[in-house]
Amino acid sequence: MTDNPIIPVILSGGSGTRLWPLSRESYPKQFLALDSRTNKTLLQKTYERLIGIEGLQKPILICNEDHRFIVAEQFREIKTDPQSIILEPIGRNTAPAIAVAALKAISLGKDPLLLILAADHLIENIIEFKRVIQSAKTYAKQGRLVTFGIVPTCAETGYGYIEAKESTHEKDTINGLDIKNFIEKPNKAKAEELIKDARYTWNSGMFLFKASTIINELEKFAPEIINYCKISIEKNIVDLDFLRLEEESFKKCPKLSIDIAVMEKTKLGTVLPLNVGWSDIGSWKSLWDISQKNNDGNYINGRVVAEKSKNCYLKSEQRLIVGLGIENLIVVDTNDAILVANREHSQNIGNIIKSLDSSNFPEGKMHKKIFRPWGNYTTISEGSRWQVKLIEVKPNASLSLQMHHHRAEHWIIVNGTALIEKDGEKELLSENQSTFIPLGCKHRLSNPGLMKLELIEVQSGTYLDEDDIIRFEDSYGRIKN
């Protein structure tokens, strides 16, 4: 182990609504495989691209309560056991998240270097990315707060900019430069002016610094944040593989980014230029930009037929999409929503989400497919007193032992083997067999096999929402005392 091991801190709390309807609050973009060349999710790729860096340690992950099992499962898939999965009871922006990670990291032993990364970025040139990180270690070990400035490729108005005291575009050299100023997202005219000056780079939101250095600077410039984070860690609850922060203390933290809390005030800021094919995939246009396209400039995925169409992003999860004579469109079909947007207007989708929320459309936040630690379920059809779902249970997984006050259920096995428990009696069911769960019956569904279990569930009753569940036993710590 090196004197200053590197611990990646992966921030995974974003909602990713700018890529609606694929990305929603219930399952945001960091958990999706948006790179058409691989089936790895953005979260998984964020860690895997670091493998091979000298002194690399297992990561600290920070996410919200609702996504904890998704995060754990995605790291299980890439055979990586995080040092800690820290659960934020409420989102307070990046400064409290980084403070908590630094306090946790320094408690593990030596004063490590923390590599702060967002879970939803894409980087093309991984070799160069590692080379820049290697250079950044020199400055971080000297007590500098290193941030990575993306060399601009256009007059982008969606990013903040970093102004260095000197030019950052030295060919084949990686020099850290003192930071003079941070600039908020500029208008188009200002952005075009900035990219002509080599001192300016895009603010990537990635950092490298010693845990002790960022703690000291937070104590100097944002003492409330560091104090409340200390209390929330001291009163934490270890829940299975998760570290659950104490809510009352954490929610008292001011809601600040690390830029505003520290980087705009500190004298220790250093920027290193990064030219690695970086994207935060912040809009459908940016996703179209990085996607593999055919000779007509179209990205096509799923059941799609396109004729005399150019420069479109066409993706279908279910229905057939036919494009005829269209240009510069984003067309995305999911099992409950269809987006049709002009590519140049796709960054305004946030306004659409607000409109969906104000009109009480659940599709604004929730997918039809809901993920659980044991698998997932998809609502197929529903009425006022009935609902039909497809349930998928992973091998050797089990739902909680539970009961419903307001609904009965029929289960029909369509694939695999199910172990059914009803009021203490157990039975095995296989394909084409079914069972009935009466209202008030204490029951559990398990998959004892080595293949995925699939079943159709038909619910009927006066109340069908998911909060009509009384849990008696649960393998995933979801029983509230």
Is 275 within the bounds of a domain?
yes
Residues 6+ apart with CB under 8 A from 239: 87, 477
**Model confidence band, residue 238 (pLDDT cutoffs 50, 70, 90):** confident
pLDDT at site 239: 79
**Total tally of structural domains belonging to the chain:** 3
pLDDT at site 1: 41
pLDDT per position as a tens digit, 424-475: 999 999 999 999 999 999 999 999 999 999 999 999 999 999 999 999 999 8
Q: Report the CATH number at residue 91.
A: 3.90.550.10
Greater confidence, 423 or 237? 423
- Which one of 328, 356, 384 terminates a domain? 356
pLDDT at site 120: 95
Is 439 within the bounds of a domain?
yes
Is 34 within the bounds of a domain?
yes
Give the residue-averaged pLDDT of 310-316.
98
pLDDT per position as a tens digit, 350-366: 899 999 999 999 999 99
pLDDT at site 150: 95
Residues 6+ apart with CB under 8 A from 2: 54, 55
For residues 124 and 25, membership in a common domain is answered with: yes
Is 481 within the bounds of a domain?
no
Distance, CA of 258 to CA of 246 (rounded, Å): 21
pLDDT at site 170: 55
Q: Is the pTM of this model over 0.85?
A: yes
pLDDT per position as a tens digit, 88-100: 999 999 999 999 9
Q: Which own/partner pairs from 175-179 qualify as long-range (CB within 8 Å, at least 24 positions apart)?
A: 175/272, 176/135, 176/136, 176/138, 176/139, 176/144, 176/146, 176/270, 176/271, 176/272, 177/270, 177/271, 177/272, 178/269, 178/270, 178/271, 179/147, 179/263, 179/269, 179/270, 179/271
Is 478 within the bounds of a domain?
no
For residues 307 and 401, membership in a common domain is answered with: no
**Is residue 115 pLDDT above 80, yes or no?**
yes
pLDDT at site 480: 62
For residues 184 and 94, membership in a common domain is answered with: yes
pLDDT at site 2: 47
Is 1 within the bounds of a domain?
no
pLDDT per position as a tens digit, 116-155: 999 999 999 999 999 999 999 999 999 999 999 999 999 9
pLDDT per position as a tens digit, 343-401: 999 888 989 999 999 999 999 999 988 889 999 999 999 999 999 999 999 999 999 99
- Which one of 279, 300, 320 terminates a domain? 279
For residues 50 and 143, membership in a common domain is answered with: yes
For residues 106 and 251, membership in a common domain is answered with: yes
For residues 75 and 216, membership in a common domain is answered with: yes
Domain with 101 in it: 6-279
Whether the Cβ atoms of residue 306 and residue 323 lie closer than 8 Å to each other: yes
How many helices (H) does the chain have, and how many strands (E)?
Answer: 11, 30
- Which one of 227, 257, 279 terminates a domain? 279
For residues 128 and 230, membership in a common domain is answered with: yes
For residues 266 and 297, membership in a common domain is answered with: no
- pLDDT over 90 percentage in the chain: 86
Is 480 within the bounds of a domain?
no
Distance, CA of 307 to CA of 297 (rounded, Å): 12
Is 361 within the bounds of a domain?
no
For residues 414 and 293, membership in a common domain is answered with: no
pLDDT per position as a tens digit, 263-310: 999 999 999 999 999 999 989 999 999 999 999 999 999 999 999 999
pLDDT at site 4: 79
pLDDT per position as a tens digit, 329-343: 999 999 999 999 999
pLDDT at site 346: 86
For residues 27 and 134, membership in a common domain is answered with: yes
For residues 137 and 253, membership in a common domain is answered with: yes
Main-chain dihedrals φ then ψ at residue 447, nearest 5 degrees: -115, 100
For residues 198 and 246, membership in a common domain is answered with: yes
**Is residue 171 pLDDT above 80, yes or no?**
no
* Stretch among 240-249, 290-299, 309-318 having the lowest mean pLDDT: 240-249
The first and second tokens of residue 259, run together, are 């830029």
pLDDT at site 44: 98
